[in-house]
Structure formats: structure tokens, C-alpha cells
Amino acid sequence: MRPRRVAVLSVHTSPLEQPGTGDAGGMNVYITHTAVEMARRGISVEVFTRATSSEQPPVAELAPGVLVRHIPAGPFEPLGKDELPAQLCAFTSGVLRAEAFHEPGYYDLVHSHYWLSGQVGWLARDRWGVPLVHTAHTLAKVKNAALAEGDCPEPRTRVIGEEQVVAEADCLVANTPVEARQLVSLYDADPQSVHTVEPGVDLRRFTPGSRSGARQRLGLPDDAVVLAFAGRIQPLKAPDVLLHAAAELLRKQPELRQRLVVLVVGGPSGSGLEQPQALKELAVHLGIEGQTRFLPPQHAEMLAEVYRAADVVAVPSYNESFGLVALEAQACGTPVVAAEVGGLPVAVAHGVSGLLVPTHSAADWAGALGSVALRPDRRAELADNAVQHAQRFSWARTTDALLATYGEAADSFRAAILPEVAV
């Protein structure tokens, strides 16, 4: 049965925030687009997130049929993820209080995003008597197994919290079959409760366009060789790999120095906040400061221009549950070179819409990037295929699958409580 009203929990980041800095990223995009798509189908969605400013209204409209509720929990300022567990009690109280103002049965289902939200969703589920669907987005055990050099491991608190949520949720939504297997093998999830729902891409906004026009708008030379990165600046996302690869490319082909542009779009996040200037300092150290341009996080329209301007977009992450940047770039007709990790082998069709690199070595990445950016015929073929590949993914398709999962969660929940009612 299709729900009438869904409570979406996103404790640590709001869909109203700009992706690409702080803790805002692909999860924000996911929540925004699936909520809007559900609203288009006549389902009311309310997103609960922590208030980070006293100037935020208690309730804001994200889109017709989609409300964002700012719940006071802790100081009115951004907090690190390590500080947020201490605020979960206050946040949960605010969520339950909001529901208490309505008649019983106001929400039909809870969908929590990330483990912090799952902790709140677990309690709301029991209090409201509705099913809980949970999407992890990232998993601590997976991240800790593939740490970037110098990055900090996820704490034991998070691991235990994730295990608890996995055990309590009625349905778990994984972005890819790989993540689904990880939930089962690493967290002992019931395979019957795990459903794979691939994220989508905004195919109306991310479309092919004029590369020359995009470069003109960004102030880039028309004959430049442009390697781009878009995302949060943190060790996990590995933008440093792109800089090392660019330096290696110039070492092998010094004649490129006048044409090469390395475009880095995003702001510091997570452990990257500890050294916010580290990437710029690395560019100086590698002798490519003259070739490297840094841009702050961009709204979708300008981000699409960045993708169109690039010869290739690099996604060198050490772990990526899916990789929305890779899909967005391909939808704009730009090939992607990505790390062969997590969900990226789903987001990028190796040898068809881009390339997957099994290591993070500068030599391997320089070779892969050069084989696309410096070979116009091959780049053109990959670009055409990239658009076709991205067309397989849409937020409408994602939402259809998500609603089917909601139906199964409701069935599982009813089946679980029937024995209790019979007793």
C-alpha cells in the first residue's frame, strides 16, 4: 500500500544545504529528489533535520508537498558528526513532539538516512507503530577497511550504532548490489530485508551542451586540457590523487604545461577541515599551482557547466557508496575516470562511458586520464556512450523502486506485529 505521508530523518545535514561542503553531499541530493518525486505522486513528505541557526524557521517548504522541519538539538551552529550522538536524545524528543501535535497515525512510514538518523528512526518506529526503512549511504566497517593515508577511522560508537539500526529496521535500502552484500556479510543483515535501489540523476538539469560555451563562461581557454574534480575536499574523496596524477602527466609530457587545467570544485569537509589549505599547498608542492584552479561548491546549473567544460571528470574516492558526481558528469556528456571501489563500477561502465582504475597510484591515474583527455576520438566515443549510460538512471525510476520497498516494509511490519496482536 502506498503511504500517504512519510517522515524522512536526516539529522546531520539538511536538504536545503548546498552540496559540496561541510557534511552536505550526495545524500542531500538523494533526499531532495526522492522527496520531490514522491510529492509529485501525491505523497506528503516531511524531512526532519537539526537546526543549525536560530534564524532558520521551524518549518520551511522545500517544494510543494515537501516540508523541512528544523529541530533544535544542541547549539545553533554546525557540529561535527562526532558531536552529534550527544544530541540524539534532544533531536528525538523534537521529532516525537512534532508528531504528537497531530492525530494518531499521522505518519505512515519513517525513512532514516545515515546511522544517526537510524537511531532516531528506531525509536520513532516503536512509538508510532509504523515501519522503518533505513538507508546507510556509507558504512563504517567499509570505510575503515579502505582508509586514505592520514585519515581517521570511524569510531566504535558508529559501528555499534549501525549494527543496532540494521537489526531494527524493517527494510534496508542499499545503493548497489555491492552494498547489499556488505550489509549481509559485515552487519549480519537479513538478506530478505535488504533491497537494492540505485540512485538517479537529474536528467533535466544535467544534459550535454557546448564545451566551448561552458569554457567561455568559466574563463577557460578553448584549447585547454581540463581535468575536473567535484565534491567535498577530504581524504576519503581523494582529490589529492588527481593533483598527483596531473603532476605525473606533466612530468611525462611537459609540453602540456601551457594547456593543462586542473579544476577542483568543492569545500573542505570532515577530516579535511583540519587542514583546509592542504590541497592548495599540495598544488604548490607539486609545482602545478599555475595549472590548478579552485572553485567553491556550485549550484547544479553551474556544476553542469563545469562538467561540460571538462575533458574528463575524476572520481578518485577511496570509498563511494554510489558516486552521484560520476552520473551527473556522464549525463552532461563527459567521460569519467573513477576508482574501482564501492558503487562506482555501477555508476561508470568501464571502457564504455569511462574508465575504472584499480589503484590510487599517480602513474596509473595519469595514464587513465591521459588516455581519455588526450585522445579526441576515444574521448568522443566515451562521451556519446556516457550520455546513453546516464539515461538508465533517473530519480523517477529510483522513487518508483523506493515506493515498492515501502510497500514491502509495510507488509513486513504488519506480519511482525500480527503474532503480538494474536497473543
24 is in an annotated binding site: yes
CA distance 326 to 323: 6
> What is the number of other CB atoms lying within 10 angstroms of the CB of residue 176?
22
The answer to whether the annotation marks 19 as part of a ligand binding site is: yes
- The number of C-alpha atoms within 13 Å of 77 and in the hemisphere containing its C-beta is 4
Beta pairing class for 59-63 and 66-71 = antiparallel
Q: Is 407 annotated as a binding residue?
A: no
* 81 in a known ligand binding site: yes
Contacts of 247 (CB under 8 A, 6+ apart): 286, 287, 288, 362
Question: Is 319 assigned to a binding site?
Answer: no
- Annotated binding residue 222: no
Does the annotation flag 328 for ligand binding?
A: yes
- Residue 378, annotated as binding a ligand: no
340 marked as part of a ligand binding site: no
Query: In angstroms, what CA-CA distances link 369 with 84, 315, 323, 339, 378?
Result: 39, 11, 18, 12, 12
3-state secondary structure at position 415: helix
Q: Is 40 annotated as a binding residue?
A: no
158 annotated binding-site participant: yes
- For residue 411, say whether it is annotated as part of any ligand binding site: no
Q: What's the burial of 397, exposed, middle or buried (CB within 10 Å: 0-12/13-18/19+)?
A: middle
316 is in an annotated binding site: no
Q: Is 187 annotated as a binding residue?
A: no
CA 161 to CA 144: how far, in whole Å? 15
- Known binder of ligand: residue 114? yes
Annotation-wise, does 26 bind a ligand?
yes
Query: Is 283 annotated as belonging to a binding site?
Result: no
Question: How many Cα atoms within 13 Å fall on the side-chain side of residue 69?
Answer: 19
State yes or no: 27 annotated in a binding site: yes
Q: Which residues are annotated as a binding site for UDP-N-acetyl-alpha-D-glucosamine?
A: 18-19, 26, 232, 237, 298, 320, 328
Q: Which residues are annotated as a binding site for 1D-myo-inositol 3-phosphate?
A: 12, 23-28, 81, 114, 138, 158
Q: Which residues are annotated as a binding site?
A: 12, 18-19, 23-28, 81, 114, 138, 158, 232, 237, 298, 307-308, 310, 320, 328, 334
Q: Which residues are annotated as a binding site for Mg(2+)?
A: 307-308, 310, 334
